[in-house]
Amino acid sequence: MKFIIFLLFLLVVPIKGEAGRRDSRRRLNVRETPKPPQYNEHEQKLISLGGLETVKKLREHKYSAAEFIKALKTTVLGIQLYNQGDYGDCIFIFQRSYRIFPSPAILYWIAKSNMKFGNVIMARSGFSRFLMIAATWKVTKIKGALLEDAKRNLAVLEKTLASVRLVVNVGGAEVAVNGIILRQGGKALKTPLRDSIWLRPGYNQIVVTHKGFVAQQLIILDVKSGQKLHKTVTLLTRQQMIEKSELYRKAQIEKAGMERKRRETEARLRLERELAEKKSRHRQKIFRISGYSVIGAGAALLIGGVILGVMSDNLAGDLNNASTGTPWVELSSEYDKYTKYQSYSRYAMGIGGAVILGGAVLAYFGLRQVEIEEPAAPSKKVALTPLLGGGFAGMALSFGF
C-alpha cells in the first residue's frame, strides 16, 4: 500500500531538477554566470609551460593535449637519434609520432632523415608535402627556419633527380617505381597522375597494374639529372591481348608472303646479272678476236709494203748503176716497176698502219673490264616488330622499297 502511494506521489508532484532551477532563475530574472573552462591534467601541464594558446588551438581543432604531449616526446627522441646519425630508426620514430599528432614539422624531420639516409625520392616527396601542408596548418606554429631549409633542400633534390610525366589509357591503375608503389597520405596513388614521377639518374623500372588488365612494364635507361620525360603506357585486357596476337599471326603470314616475293625478286635480279655478264664476256671475246685478226692483217700489209719498198729501192739502185750509153727503151720497163713498187709500198704501209691501229682499238675493248650496273634490289629485308607493352600495342611491319 505504501509503495502504491509513493508511485502516485511521483506521478503527481514534479521533481525540480537543473531545468526546473533554470526556469526559476529565468522567472526571477537572475542571470547565470558562465563557468570557467575546465582543463584536464595534460592541458594544465601545457598551460604551466606557457602553452595556453596552444591548448586553445588544440581544442579549437579538436586535438587532444595528451596526444600532442606524447607526439612531442616521441619527436624529441627522434631528433636525438637523428643527431646521433641513426637515420633508419629516427625515420620509424618520426612516422610513429606523426600518426599520433599530424604536425607538418614532423614531416620535415621525416624528409630530412630520408635525405640523410639516401632515400632522395622519398625526401623530395616529404619536403614537398611538408611545404604544402604547412601553408594551411593553423594548430601549432611552424618555424621559418624549417620552411627555408625545406625549400632549399627541395630545390637541390629537384636539380639532382629526373622526372617523367606518365600517361595511362586507363584510370585507377597503380604505378610502382623500382618496386615501390607510389603513395600519398598512406594511400596508393591511382591514374591519372596529377604530378610527374621523380626518378633517380640511371636505370629505372616503372610497372603499371590494374585489375582485369595485363600489367605493363616500362624501362627507362640512363636517365640524366634534371631530365624531363613524357611516357605513355597502354593497358590491355587479356581479350585485347588475344586480339592483338591474332593480328600478329595475320601479319606473320603477310610477312612470309613479302619475304617470298623478296627472294623471288633477288633470284630474278641475280639471273639478269648473270645473263648480262655472259653477254658482256661474249662481246669482249668477239672484240679481242676481231682486234687480233685486224692487227694481223694490218701487220701483213705493213710487211708487204716494206718488201715492196725494199724492191723499189733495189730497182732504183739498178737504174742508178746502169751505164751511160744504155738506151731508155731498155730502162723504161725497170723504171715503171720502180715507180709501181714504190707506190704500192706506200699504200700498203699506210693502210697496214691504219688497220693495225683499228685492230688495237678493238683489242682494247675486248680486254677492258666492263662494270655491270647492279640492278635495283630491296635494300632491307622484311622485318616485323611486335609492339605490345611499354606504351605500345600492335606491331610494326617494315620492308625495303
Which element (helix H / strand E) includes 385? strand 383-386
* 8 A C-beta contact, residue 140 and residue 71: no
Q: Is residue 145 part of a domain?
A: yes
Q: Is residue 258 part of a domain?
A: yes
374, pLDDT greater than 80: no
One domain, residues 247 and 286: yes
Q: Is residue 374 part of a domain?
A: no
CB neighbours (10 Å) of residue 76?
11
- Ramachandran class of 284: left when φ > 0, alpha when ψ lies in -120 to 50, beta otherwise: alpha
List 190's β-bridge partners, or say none: 174
Q: State the total domains in the chain.
A: 3
**Separation between Cα atoms, residue 111 and residue 320, nearest integer Å:** 131
Read off the pLDDT of each residue in 232-258 and give the average, rounded to a whole number.
81
Matching residue, cell 746502169: 322
CATH of the domain at 230: 2.60.40.10
One domain, residues 293 and 363: yes
Mean pLDDT of the chain: 79
Whether the pTM exceeds 0.75: the reply is no
Last residue of a domain, one of 177, 211, 235: 235
One domain, residues 71 and 104: yes
pLDDT at 53: 81
Percentage of residues in the chain having pLDDT higher than 90: 31
Q: Which domain holds residue 228?
A: 161-235
4, pLDDT greater than 50: no
Give 272-316 pLDDT, tens digit per residue.
Answer: 888 888 888 888 888 788 888 888 888 888 888 888 778 877 877
Q: Is residue 5 part of a domain?
A: no
Q: Is residue 21 part of a domain?
A: no
One domain, residues 326 and 224: no
DSSP states of 328-340 as a string? HHHHHHHHHHHHH
pLDDT at 9: 36
One domain, residues 48 and 128: yes
Last residue of a domain, one of 176, 207, 235: 235
127, pLDDT greater than 60: yes
pLDDT at 21: 46
One domain, residues 225 and 166: yes
One domain, residues 94 and 120: yes
pLDDT at 330: 65
CATH of the domain at 42: 1.25.40.10
Give 199-225 pLDDT, tens digit per residue.
Answer: 989 999 999 999 999 999 999 988 899
* 8 A C-beta contact, residue 301 and residue 352: yes
pLDDT at 219: 92
390, pLDDT greater than 50: no
One domain, residues 363 and 245: yes
Q: Is residue 55 part of a domain?
A: yes
Read off the pLDDT of each residue in 239-264 and give the average, rounded to a whole number.
81
317, pLDDT greater than 80: no
Last residue of a domain, one of 118, 141, 159: 159
What distance separates the 2 farthest-apart alpha carbons in the chain?
213
One domain, residues 350 and 329: yes
One domain, residues 100 and 185: no
DSSP states of 82-144 as a string? HHTT-HHHHHHHHHHHHHHS--HHHHHHHHHHHHHHT-HHHHHHHHHHHHHHHTT--SSPPPH
One domain, residues 72 and 94: yes
105, pLDDT greater than 90: yes
327, pLDDT greater than 80: no
Instruction: Return the minimum-mean-pLDDT range out of 96-110, 216-230, 293-307, 333-347.
Output: 333-347
Strand blocks (E) in 26-68:
none
One domain, residues 231 and 330: no
Matching residue, cell 630545390: 155
Q: Is residue 378 part of a domain?
A: no
Q: Is residue 182 part of a domain?
A: yes
Long-range contacts of 296-301 (CB under 8 A, 24+ apart): 296/359, 297/352, 297/355, 297/359, 298/351, 298/352, 298/353, 298/354, 298/355, 298/356, 298/357, 298/358, 298/359, 299/352, 299/356, 300/352, 301/348, 301/349, 301/351, 301/352, 301/355
